[in-house]
Amino acid sequence: MNKMELINNLSKITSLSAKKCEKVLNGLNFLIFDALSKGESVRLAKLGRFYVKSFGRRQLTNPKTKRKFVVESRNMPAFKMSSSLKKSII
């Protein structure tokens, strides 16, 4: 399902206009992005948790050339699904 299909389905379920549903979806995206950029997590009931995962600085080796290089520490967005979502998929 792409963004427009999601908006149209949300519009049918909520009986809101498609434009209002698009604003809601864009607002939700903005709030999640903003929270993650501040290092906060976002929990959505029955869906899961968006959070920031930290990876420390580490040394890796290229298996082909055997050359070693350093990867600096960084933060990456992550998602952990809820048990109810997991049960609905499995």
DSSP 3-state assignment of 79?
A: strand
CA angle 69, 70, 74 (to 5 degrees): 145
CB within 8 A of 74, min separation 6: which ones? 54, 55
Give the whole-angstrom CA distance, residue 61 versus residue 80.
29
Domain formed by 41-90, architecture: Irregular (4.10)
Per-residue HEC secondary structure of 25-62 comes to HHHHHHHHHHHHHCCCCEEECCCEEEEEEEECCEEEEC
List, as one string, the DSSP characters of 12-26: HHHT--HHHHHHHHH
Of the pLDDT bands very low, low, confident and very high (cuts 50, 70, 90), residue 63 is very high
Q: Encode pLDDT of 3-56 as tens digits.
A: 999 999 999 999 999 999 999 999 999 999 999 999 999 999 999 999 999 999
Give the whole-angstrom CA distance, residue 49 versus residue 42.
6
pTM value? 0.78
